[in-house]
Amino acid sequence: MSEHHEHLSQHDRPLSGPALRVKALESLLVDKGLVDPHTLDELIDTFEKRVGPRNGARVVARAWVDPAYKARLLTDSRAAIAEFGFFGYGEDMVVVENTPTIRNVVVCTLCSCYPWAVLGLPPVWYKSAPYRARAVIDPRGVLKELGDPVPEDVEVRVWDSTAELRYLVLPERPAGTEGCSEAELAELVTRDAMIGVARVKAPEKRAR
Amino acid sequence: MNGVHDMGGMHGMGPVEIERNEPVFHAEWERRVFALRLACAFHRRWNIDMNRHAIEQMPPADYLAASYYERVLFGFTRLLVEHGLVGAGELATGKADGKASVAGVLSPDGIDTLLRTRIRARRDEDVPPKFGVGEPVVARNIHPTGHTRLPRYVRGKQGVICRDHGVFVFPDSSAMTRDPSPQHLYTVRFAARELWGADASTRDGVYLNLWDGYLDAA
């Protein structure tokens, strides 16, 4: 890129930046009667405060303590998750279970499909080129880089979300959590574990 | 279309970087464009397949350089004009020529319903499946110039049907002509070695959701 071009694009940035374009677009859509500004605030609030990975964590914790629920979750994921009555939940879902011999990893190579109602909006890395490109060809390399190498004798299953079916990984329950309540277990479950790129860790031993 | 959005298996994209304690949004404009697009989904002028295809129209160099919400802004703006909610002139000047002719707007009370019903992909039609669970199949070696959800990295490769999910809208026709062309959707397993060659693990596999229209008997 030439110096001249760089200079121009920098000069141009304050006028064409997305912040200004979105601001202009919002006032146009309000003037056209296409959106209600109060609803926009509510939508944002919904995804910042109400819908997020804590929902998915509750599903996982329930499956860990209740074998009948877990069986329902793995056979009819959509209906089993619907039992929680999460706000805005309408997704067709597939839940895949990690075991000592199987690791599941979820990706969307073509765009950014993600189970909003149970995990909220996807993190930047999930929507970014490195993850979308590499998760299918080198899942072991990605997991190793992220600090969770997979032993040779464990099978890796990568789920590329190409349709209107959203995937949730049911992670393995960590050892040392036998005394935990369902609510305490839910606190341990992370977003990354439910995408499949991390494992759930047992809580640090508390001083008593 | 064989676009840059079809990223599975590409090299050179760099490391996966997870941001610690990542916020839901990184800037106010990201919040606003996210909400604007969802609120306009209420008008049902386009479907999710058209939405994805609009983003795929972004010039490849721009697509790769853009953040997720910049891509959202590109696709959303395009859809607004293509489907007549906003005129190209209005977009250029920022001034409304008048009210849009729509039946109403999304209210806060309607958010739960919008989110529940925004994607309507499952269909009731009684269409017979072309394949049964356990059957070997080959993903077609096709290169549609329009929208498709058949990634390049599985085309021509052999896999096995693992599960039949029932009848779903076919995205290729849905995006281009709104024709739902209802057909069975499956989970198909491809062995990592079939996709990536002898360097891949013998144990691993990649699972994709593929429609009858993408598959032939092996």
Neighbours of B12 (CB within 10 A): 7
Q: Residue B149 in contact with residue B191, Cβ under 8 Å?
A: no
Question: Minimal CA–CA distance to A90: which of A164, A24, A16, A153?
Answer: A164
Q: What is the DSSP letter of B186?
A: E
DSSP state of B87: -
Cα A169 → chain centroid: 10
Secondary structure of residue A173 in the 3-state scheme: coil
Between chain A and chain B, the number of residue pairs with CB atoms below 8 A apart is 251
Dihedral (Cα; B51, A194, B30, B46), 10-degree rounding = 10
The model's pLDDT over A157-193, given as tens digits with 9 standing for 90+, comes to 999 999 999 999 999 999 999 999 999 999 999 999 9
Name residues 24-83 of chain B within 8 A of A (Cβ). Answer: 24-29, 31-36, 38-40, 43, 48, 52, 55, 64, 67-70, 73, 77, 80
Laid out side by side, the sheet with B205-211 consists of A102-107, A155-160, B205-211, B183-191, B158-168, B136-139, B215-217
**Residue A207 reports pLDDT greater than 60:** no
SS3 B93: helix
Estimate the share of chain B in helix, then strand, then coil, as percent rounded to the nearest 5.
35, 15, 50
Cβ proximity of A139 and B204 under 8 Å:
yes
pLDDT of residue A203: 86
Q: For residues B122 and B120, give the distance between their C-alpha atoms in angstroms, rounded to a whole number.
A: 6
Of B15, B26, B99, the CB nearest to A32: B99
Catalytic residues of A: 108, 111-113
pLDDT tens-digit map of A119-165: 999 999 999 999 999 999 999 999 999 999 999 999 999 999 999 99
Mutate one of A136, A140, A194 to test the B interface: name it (highest B CB count within 10 A): A136
Mean pLDDT of chain A: 92
Q: Which two tokens stand for residue B193?
A: 């070695």
- Residue B119 DSSP class: -
**Is the minimum CB–CB distance between A102 and chain B shorter than 8 Å?**
no
Q: A167: how many CB neighbours lie within 10 A of its CB?
A: 26
Question: In this predicted structure, what is the pLDDT of residue A204?
Answer: 78
Per-residue pLDDT tens over the stretch B109-155: 999 999 999 888 999 999 999 999 999 999 999 999 999 999 999 99
For A107, the enclosing helix (H) or strand (E) is strand A102-107
Best of B5, B16, B124, B169 to disrupt the A interface by mutation (most A CBs within 10 Å)?
B16
B68, containing H or E segment:
helix B68-82
Instruction: Output the six-digit token pair for B17.
Output: 């970087």
Pair type for strands A166-170 and B136-139: unpaired
Look up residue A130 and give its two tokens. 């490195």
Tell whether the torsion through CA atoms of B104, B105, B110 and B113 is positive or negative: positive
Question: If contacts are CB pairs under 8 Å, which of residues 82-101 in chain A contact chain B?
Answer: 87-92, 94
B139 part of contact set with chain A, CB < 8 Å: no
In chain A, residues with a C-beta closer than 8 Å to the C-beta of B96 are: 28, 31-32
DSSP A180: -
pTM for this model (two decimals): 0.94
B15-30 residue pLDDT tens:
999 999 999 999 999 9
Q: Residue A13 above 50 pLDDT? A: no
For A15, what's the count of Cα atoms within 13 Å in the CB-facing half-sphere?
6
Q: Rg for chain B (alpha carbons), in Å? A: 20
Bridge-partner residues for B166, per DSSP? Answer: B185
Read off the amino acid at residue A68: A
Contacts of A95 in chain B (CB under 8 A): none
In this prediction, what percent of chain A has a pLDDT beyond 90? Answer: 88
A130 Cβ under 8 Å from any chain B Cβ: yes
Q: Using 50, 70 and 90 to split pLDDT, how confident is the model at A12?
A: very low
Q: What is the pLDDT of residues B95-118, one digit of tens each?
A: 999 999 999 999 999 999 999 998
Question: Residue B52's closest CA among B82, B79, B29, B70?
Answer: B79
Q: Is A112 on the interface with B (CB under 8 A)?
A: yes
A177: helix, strand or coil? coil
Return the ∠ at Cα B53 (arms to B50 and B58), rounded to 5°.
Answer: 135
> Is A103 near chain B, with CB under 8 Å?
no
